Amino acid sequence: MRETLDKVMEAEKKARERVAAAREEASKRVSRAEDEASRIIDQSRREALEEQREKLAQLEEELRQRHTRELQKVEAEIEVFRQERKEVVESSVEDLVDFIIRPKGSNGG
């Protein structure tokens, strides 16, 4: 009877050891799975961030190009205005010179 009891106790001890080892192994697996999940999440975040950076760079380039086009339009308008102003000034100077040089008695009538 004592032998049977010792065998039962030994079997229980081994079973507890196996359960403890299984729990430890399961805990390690869970920890590895959590680490892997964390790594995947971090990688996904990095990829999403890189994608956002690329989109931002593209938008910045588009904005820069649009700004350049608008600036060129404004510069062209300024040049047209300058040319028109120059023509008006030249015409006014010509009219003034004609008025000054024209004999006093020739008022057209």
What's the pLDDT tens digit per position in 14-60? Answer: 999 999 999 999 999 999 999 999 999 999 999 999 999 999 999 99
Q: What is the DSSP letter of 102?
A: S
N residues, the chain? 109
* Other Cβ atoms closer than 10 A to 84: 10
| Longest CA–CA separation in the chain, Å | 155
Report in angstroms the alpha-carbon separations of 26 from 15, 20, 31, 102.
16, 10, 8, 112
pLDDT score, position 108: 52
pTM of whole model > 0.85? no
83-96 pLDDT per residue, tens: 999 999 999 888 88
